[in-house]
Amino acid sequence: MERLPFARPTLGEAEQQAVAEVLASGWITTGPRVAAFERALADYLGGGVQVLAFNSGTSALEAALLACDIGPGDEVIVPAMSFVATANVVLRVGARPRFVDVDPLSRNLDAAAVAAAIGPRTRAIMPVHFAGLPLDLAPLHDLAARHALVIIEDAAQAIGTRCGDRPVGASGNPVCFSFHPNKNITTIEGGALATSDPRLARRLTRIRFHGIEKDAEGGVAVPEWGGKMNLSDVSAALGLAQLPRLDDFIARRRTLAVHYAEMLPRHPALLTPLDVPGHSWHMYCVCVDFARLDTTRPAFMRALEQRGILAGIHYPAIHTFGLYRRFGHGPGDFPHAERIGEQTLTLPLFPTMTYADVERVCAAMADLLPV
């Protein structure tokens, strides 16, 4: 019996050929493929944005915070439900994350909770488009304008997601993507940042490579600190082969997600994910009330694994980790995020899955959800 992982990259001959050509060229670090990948992403997103490639989505988030002069003494509002990198990068630049709870169905930031959390040290809001489900940014833009705040979008899970009539990434805000192997397209490891601010883009270009700035004659200056965050041409070549397939990948994910919604059992202990227009279905995360079933998540996952199904956990609530408990956070602070973190289960979802694979997962779930 084939074991179904919760994610699997879709790679073929085009990706293999693209990487082989870069290796044969002799130029494998940042170079012409990275520049081509950045242009292709900018064209895909539209809106006149400029795109900068990074070695990870995490690096892109960190660079965005630095480029917006966010540091010690500042606070950044982040959702308590996300991958821990969303908060870690805030600590990395010396600022503090200000957690807020999320909507229990969308798992995205609750705008009312954001409004209540804004204080004198708040400098930025970092919304996450959770699992590829688009967040309505309009209330956050209103809050940002009223309080002179920056919005930095964590779109690590949302390449290909659409908000209304435009892709996530075309808002003009700094918007950060990830191309990790479990994302909708991959560069192995890698990320990107889209922005409509040319001054910010120039500074980001320095920050991602040692703070170096070159003039037209090749002269080098280092006006500020910078990291080592650049993407390789090998990774960019893979991205260039993947990007034209992105919309097809998402269409297939959506078809599979719809089939999940049709086939999963209706059970009071099971909560299926919210669907909205523009969702790119990076993950299919259900919530299971394990206590109601008189079981535990590890036991439930072992039972699925015995049936050849490998589920994931996306994610524990960030404020419950030891790192953030040291800042005074603990159980009860953000009940929606905590409930999601305790009950979440990520079911297999990737473009090469079949309807039969979905039905197999749903049959296993039905076996484990007693009538």
Q: Parse the chain into domains and list their residue ranges.
A: 13-245, 246-368
pLDDT for 41: 98
CB 281 within 8 A of CB 129: no
Provide the pLDDT confidence category of residue 253 given band limits of 50, 70 and 90: very high
Summarize pLDDT for 127-144 with one digit per residue, the tens.
Answer: 999 999 999 999 999 999
Instruction: Please count the residues of the chain.
Output: 371
pLDDT for 239: 98
Provide the pLDDT confidence category of residue 286 given band limits of 50, 70 and 90: very high
Summarize pLDDT for 176-219 with one digit per residue, the tens.
Answer: 999 999 999 999 999 999 999 999 999 999 999 999 998 888 89
CB 275 within 8 A of CB 261: yes
Average pLDDT of span 34-52: 97
pLDDT for 361: 98
Whether the pLDDT of residue 1 is over 80: the answer is: no
Do 246-368 and 13-245 fall under one CATH topology?
A: no
- Residue 191 pairs in a beta bridge with 54, 178
In whole numbers, what is the pLDDT of the chain averaged over residues? 97
Q: 168-186: buried (b, 16+ CB within 10 Å) or exposed (e) per residue?
A: bbbbebbbbbbbbebbbbb
The Cα 324–Cα 253 span in angstroms is: 34
Average pLDDT of span 145-162: 98
- In Å, what is the CA distance from 159 to each residue of 130, 179, 290? 11, 8, 32
The Cα 88–Cα 74 span in angstroms is: 14
- 13-245: which CATH number, 2.60.40.1120, 3.40.50.300, 3.30.465.10, 3.40.640.10? 3.40.640.10
pLDDT for 216: 86
pLDDT for 108: 98
Number of other CB atoms surrounding residue 150 within 10 Å:
20
pLDDT for 215: 87
Phi, then psi, of 204 in degrees rounded to 5: -60, -35
Summarize pLDDT for 310-358 with one digit per residue, the tens.
Answer: 999 999 999 999 999 999 999 999 999 999 999 999 999 999 999 999 9
Q: Which residue in the block uniquely carries the two structure tokens 């005074």? A: 328
pLDDT for 56: 98
Which helix (H) or strand (E) element contains residue 214?
strand 213-214
The Cα 277–Cα 163 span in angstroms is: 8
293-299 contact pairs (CB < 8 A, 24+) = 293/269, 293/368, 293/369, 293/370, 297/342, 297/343, 297/345
Average pLDDT of span 14-37: 97
Summarize pLDDT for 82-121 with one digit per residue, the tens.
Answer: 999 999 999 999 999 999 999 999 999 999 999 999 999 9
Average pLDDT of span 268-283: 98
Q: 231-258: buried (b, 16+ CB within 10 Å) or exposed (e) per residue?
A: bbbbbbbbbbbbbebbeebbebbeebbe
Whether the pLDDT of residue 2 is over 90: the answer is: no
Whether the pLDDT of residue 370 is over 90: the answer is: no
Phi, then psi, of 318 in degrees rounded to 5: -60, -40
Q: Which residue in the block uniquely carries the two structure tokens 């996530």? A: 168
Pairwise pLDDT comparison (371 vs 170), residue with the higher score? 170
CB 154 within 8 A of CB 82: yes
Q: DSSP assignment of 228-245, as one string?
A: B-PPPHHHHHHHHHHGGG
| Percentage of the chain exceeding pLDDT 70 | 100
- Residue 213 pairs in a beta bridge with 221
pLDDT for 72: 98
| Percentage of the chain exceeding pLDDT 90 | 97
Question: What fold does the segment set 246-368 form as a domain?
Answer: Aspartate Aminotransferase, domain 1 (3.90.1150)
Among 33, 123, 183, 282, the active-site one is 183
- Decide if 183 is catalytic: yes
Number of other CB atoms surrounding residue 334 within 10 Å:
24
**pTM of the complete model:** 0.97
Q: How many helices (H) and strands (E) does the chain have?
A: 13, 15
Whether the pLDDT of residue 371 is over 80: the answer is: no
- In Å, what is the CA distance from 276 to each residue of 46, 105, 133, 300? 22, 11, 7, 29
pLDDT for 200: 98
The Cα 335–Cα 337 span in angstroms is: 6
Q: Which residue in the block uniquely carries the two structure tokens 């169905």? A: 105
